[in-house]
Chains A and B, each alone.
Chain A
């Protein structure tokens, strides 16, 4: 009787431990790799954080002045290879929409010097505003994690789309078409 009681007691201890351990194993076994777990950006669906500052051309810029248009907010660095690769696509996108003025691009300098950026644009083309001062505030407000990174702001001023890495002109146009079609 006594020994039976003791055995029961050790069972009482072992069982919960076993349950907790089993739970831990199940949780660990069903987790995806940490690398695949990139949360979507919390700013999607919200009002676009401000992009305010001076452009490399020395003019002031305020994203709010462009309310009513689609705006591609593009974060880039002159030395990053994917940025150089995506740049022709941005130029193409700008060309498509410059006449109608229904969509525009603003580039935001990320961790770079103004001279580098000027050289970059004179070498690769493109004459949309490039925000230099106030760029860090914008990058941190958008939650930029690396370059290139682009956000699409709807005419209503809401961030509707985010792209990590390079964009294509067709890709952005598809998104705009899709979102314009939706009620």
Chain B
């Protein structure tokens, strides 16, 4: 083998190797933003002259781009997006002419023309070669044979080129994966999230994290992927990173219950009771789906929130109690909410008297605060002692006198009245509560848990 042949083989092997590696290797996946851009280039801006949705900056083009982004994030197929846009804006929004009917000609004609041109070139080469031996006057039979040959060849070229054209036209209607030079779109965020959930179900936490990371690569704004990536991170013990993920998820979709729930749990793990409580409040306002509620119950989130908050606030209160000259409530850093939690905490510890005294101390600074009044009343009502119950009702009356539609006051008094046997009074309070525009979820839960409605309905 000569050195030249060897060199050729080497060059071809190197080139083919590099080409095949690069062509077959899956590069980094296209992100959703890339898909949106590719798709937007395939549609005409409906009000512009000759500009695509990607190019134009008129409001319509912008809105269509954003809608395409929404569809892509939802994991819709190219065909779906195309159908939606064509249904609303008619076929001329689609820069990809359909392969069927008269429009299919635009795909077929170039192949026919190409076949024709190729045939002409071949004929030129052949006839030139033949003309060298041409007699000036070929006999009739030869000419007839030439005509027949020409006809056969023409038909053959038309058939072959036409068939090829039909194939191209057939594949044109579906915006296939190689519909553009930018390459194919392999997976969607939704598929990756599904994959992650499957792995999680198999207990493969690392695999799930990888899948979520891939999903986030595609669509950095996927609230679901961010949330679960954050949740899994927290399960691995890296709470700070988890908080970052979850806060991102909440920024993307403030109304995603899962993110709120996990954020609350992570806050608990960090010992941040009030942060957890506020996330939990948002979670409750979101009308969470049953599986989230279940998870909530399983993880004893409410209980832990209460415990954590109580623990935190008790520390402060005990600290205050230890000081000899206790300052007035108004001079401390405590807010009314903290005070209410503290009273609950003291009561839960069994120090009912301490709790009541604590609230009295608060009332010195805030004499007419309906929240404090109602809370003090409720403490007494819950004591079970009939005398204290009567005093409690008085406090509740005062609270409701200060604010007629105080939700807590109404519910607590309904309980008190029902215990006193005043069913009608309890009903009145409860219906007043029901008429409120907003019913705090914890009160609703309280009513359900204690079976108040059943108690006063009969």
Interface, chain A (partner B; CB < 8 A): 1-2, 34, 39, 41-43, 49, 77, 110-111, 136-137, 139-147
Flag if A136 contacts B47 (CB, 8 Å): no
Is there an interface contact between B46 and A143, defined as CB atoms closer than 8 Å? yes
Q: Which 6 A-B pairs have the closest CB atoms?
A: A143-B88, A140-B67, A143-B89, A42-B90, A111-B59, A145-B46
Contacts of B59 in A (CB 8 A): 77, 110-111, 146-147
B92 surroundings in chain A (CB, below 8 A): 39
| CB nearest neighbor in B for A34 | B49
Q: B88 to A49, Cβ gap below 8 A? A: yes
Q: Using Cβ atoms and an 8 Å threshold, which residues of chain A touch B136?
A: 2
17 of the cross-chain contacts (CB-CB < 8 Å) are: A2-B136, A39-B90, A42-B86, A42-B89, A49-B88, A77-B59, A110-B63, A136-B63, A136-B66, A139-B63, A140-B67, A142-B88, A143-B88, A143-B90, A145-B47, A145-B89, A146-B58
Residues in A whose Cβ lies below 8 Å from that of B66: 136
Q: Are A140 and B88 in contact (CB under 8 A)?
A: yes
- In the complex formed, the residue of A with least CB distance to B50 is A34
Question: Is the beta-carbon distance between B90 and A141 smaller than 8 angstroms?
Answer: no
Interface size bracket, B side: 20 to 34
* Other-chain contact of A43, B46, B47, B87 (Cβ < 8 Å): B87
Inter-chain contacts of B278 with A (CB < 8 A): none
Given A2-B136, A145-B46, A146-B47, residue A140 in contact with residue B90 (CB < 8 A): no
Contact pick for A137, options B46, B67, B87, B137, CB 8 Å: B67
Q: Which residues of B contact A77 (CB under 8 A)?
A: 59
Neighbouring B residues of A2 by C-beta, 8 Å: 136
Most buried by B among A2, A136, A142, A145: A145
Instruction: Indicate if the CB atoms of A140 and B47 lie closer than 8 Å.
Output: no
Known: A39-B90, A42-B90, A146-B47. A141 touches B63 (CB 8 A): no
**What A residues does B89 contact at CB under 8 A?**
42, 143, 145
A43 CA to B93 CA in the complex, in Å? 14
Restricting to B101-117, which residues have a CB under 8 Å from any CB of A? none
User: Most A CB atoms within 10 A — which of B62, B86, B88, B92?
Assistant: B88
A144, B45: Cα distance in complex, Å: 11
* Inter-subunit contact A144/B60 (CB<8 Å): yes
B347 interfacial contact with A, CB 8 Å: no
B residues whose Cβ falls under 8 Å from a Cβ of A: 46-47, 49, 58-60, 62-64, 66-67, 70, 84-90, 92, 136-137
Whether A141 contacts B88 in the complex (CB less than 8 A), given A2-B136, A110-B63, A136-B67, comes out as yes
> For residue A147, which residues in chain B have a CB less than 8 angstroms away from its CB?
59
B60 nearest in chain A by CB position: A145
Which of A1, A2, A143 has its CB near the most chain B CB atoms (within 10 A)?
A143
Q: Whole-angstrom distance from the CB of B71 to the nearest CB of chain A? A: 9
Report the Cα distance A41→B85, complex, angstroms: 12
Once bound together, how far apart are the Cα atoms of A34 and B224, in whole Å?
46
Question: Given the complex of chains A and B, what is the CA–CA distance between A39 and B44 in angstroms?
Answer: 14
A144 to B60, CA, bound (A): 7
Given contacts A143-B89, A146-B47, 5 further A-B contacts (CB under 8 A): A1-B137, A42-B89, A141-B84, A141-B87, A142-B88
Q: How far is the CA of A111 from the CA of B70 in the complex (A)?
A: 15
Residue ID in chain B nearest A149 by CB atoms: B60
Which chain B residues border A137 with CB–CB below 8 Å?
A: 67, 70
Pair B62/A111 contact, Cβ less than 8 Å: yes
Which residues of chain B come closer than 8 Å to A1, judged between CB atoms? Answer: 137
Chain A residues with CB under 8 A of B63: 110-111, 136, 139-140, 144
What CA separation (Å) do A142 and B89 show in the bound complex?
8
- Output the nearest chain B residue to A2 by Cβ-Cβ distance: B136
Residues of B within 8 A of A110 (CB): 59, 63
Could you tell me the distance between the alpha carbons of A146 and B62 in the complex, rounded to whole angstroms?
A: 11
Residues on B with C-beta less than 8 A from A136 are: 63, 66-67, 70
**Chain A min CB distance to B344 (Å):** 32
Which B residues touch A142, using CB under 8 A?
88
CB-based nearest B residue for A135: B63
Q: Kindly provide the distance from the CB of A75 to the nearest chain B CB, expressed in whole angstroms.
A: 10
With both chains docked as a complex, state the minimum distance between the C-beta of B75 and any C-beta of chain A, in angstroms. Answer: 16
> What is the CA–CA distance of A111 and B85 in the complex, to the nearest angstrom?
18
**CA A42 – CA B85 in complex, angstroms?**
11
Q: Are B88 and A43 in contact (CB under 8 A)?
A: yes
Q: Which residue of A lies closest to B89 (CB)?
A: A143
Q: How far is the CA of A147 from the CA of B118 in the complex (A)?
A: 52
Q: How far is the CA of A143 from the CA of B63 in the complex (A)?
A: 11
Q: Contact check: which of B49, B84, B137 meets A140 at CB < 8 Å?
A: B84
Q: Identify the closest chain B residue to A164 (Cβ).
A: B47
What's the Cα separation between A49 and B85 when bound, in Å?
Answer: 12
CB of B87 within 8 A of CB of A140, answer no
Tell me the complex Cα distance, A164–B354, Å: 72
A39 / chain B contacts, CB cutoff of 8 Å: 90, 92
Residue of A at shortest CB range from B45?
Answer: A145
CA distance A2 to B136 in the complex (A): 8
With both chains docked as a complex, state the minimum distance between the C-beta of A51 and any C-beta of chain B, in angstroms: 13
Cα distance A147–B70 when bound, in Å? 22
